Amino acid sequence: VILNFVVPHKNYCGEYMLFSCLRPFIYKTYFIYLFYFVEIDKIPFDSDFKYMAKIVNLDESRYLVVKGAPDSLMDIILNSNSEFNQIYWKKKMTWLAKQGKRVVAVAYKKISKDINEIEHNLLEKDLQLVGLVGIMDPPKEEVIDAIL
């Protein structure tokens, strides 16, 4: 999946993007809305790790969902899946970046209902890349004026 987003609102974009990407993979229909996901725990974005992660419930299942820098997530996935086609995804990442878009990767895995807290080592195995999102995120007017 490769999606292109224009950011409608900064605070809403991250959640919308994350769950929009997950819809066809976790749930067999596109008619999932954010209120169907119940957040259990999260790791906020950290520039050292270059990703954020959440544990969410959807229906009777629990998932770890992750969004972040494509290079970071691809490296994590490649460590546990030697068949992961990193070359293909790096080409797609480059294609989006050359269009001036900010590129974010989205990944997930189904986890046990017994897991209630995220630790970074939870991401080390079985993470599946859902896709990349290219976000057109133009600078605010104030920034343009400051630069000029």
CB 118 within 8 A of CB 66: no
Predicted confidence band of residue 6 (pLDDT cuts 50, 70, 90) = very low
10 vs 144, which has greater pLDDT? 144
CB 67 within 8 A of CB 17: yes
31 vs 130, which has greater pLDDT? 130
DSSP bridge partners of 18: none
Q: Residue 4: pLDDT above 70? A: no
Q: Where are the beta strands (DSSP E) in the chain?
A: 2-6, 38-46, 51-58, 61-68, 102-111, 128-136
Say what the pLDDT of residue 20 is. 54
State the Cα–Cα distance between residues 144 and 103, nearest whole angstrom.
21
Q: Which residues contact 8 (CB under 8 A, 6 or more apart)?
A: none
Q: What is the pLDDT of residues 92-130, one digit of tens each?
A: 899 988 988 888 888 889 999 999 999 888 888 999 888
For 88-99, b/e burial (b = at least 16 CB within 10 A) is: ebeebbeebeee
Say what the pLDDT of residue 22 is. 54
131 vs 15, which has greater pLDDT? 131
